[in-house]
């Protein structure tokens, strides 16, 4: 395995909680924005998480890849759906997106195979 995606989400969660304790209004505002953005509507929460994962790949954010891979897996995204999303990322982002797409697939697989 290239990275320990489980540990990455745990470590980042702890670090982010520390920030939340020090600037609670900002952290609460971010949490509210996330809840509003992920609310079921014309797009499902699962599809929104796949979009967030695609953006994480595009901006090369390991933490985003970890958190949104985990959420997509928990919301029932299939490996086939993830693969198609990765194809769009690679099409739009070229070589850098290809390398992060590979990492995102590894992250998704690590969360999807938690049986």
Residue 2's pLDDT is 86
Residue 109's pLDDT is 96
- Nearest partner of 83 among 104, 57, 114, 58, judged by Cα: 104
Band (pLDDT 50/70/90 cuts) for residue 23 is very high
Measure the CA–CA gap between 92 and 87, rounded to whole angstroms. Answer: 9
CATH entry 1.20.120.1200 includes domain 5-113: no
3-state secondary structure 42-82: CCCHHHHHHHHHHHHHHCCCHHHHHHHHHHHHHCCCCHHHH
* Average pLDDT for the chain: 96
Give 50: exposed, middle or buried? Use CB within 10 Å, 0-12, 13-18, 19+: buried
Domain ranges (residues) in the chain: 5-113
* pTM across the whole model: 0.91
Band (pLDDT 50/70/90 cuts) for residue 115 is low
**CA angle, residues 65, 7, 49, in degrees to nearest 5:** 25
């Amino acid at each position: 395995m290239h990275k320990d995606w489980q540990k990455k989400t745990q470590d980042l969660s702890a670090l982010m909680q520390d920030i939340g304790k020090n600037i609670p209004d900002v952290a609460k505002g971010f949490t509210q924005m996330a809840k509003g953005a992920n609310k079921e509507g014309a797009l499902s929460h699962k599809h929104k998480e796949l979009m967030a994962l695609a953006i994480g790949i595009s901006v090369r954010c390991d933490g985003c890849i970890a958190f949104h891979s985990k959420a997509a897996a928990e919301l029932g995204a299939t490996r086939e759906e993830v693969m198609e999303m990765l194809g769009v990322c690679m099409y739009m982002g070229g070589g850098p997106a290809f390398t992060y797409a590979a990492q995102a697939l590894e992250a998704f697989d690590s969360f999807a195979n938690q049986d």
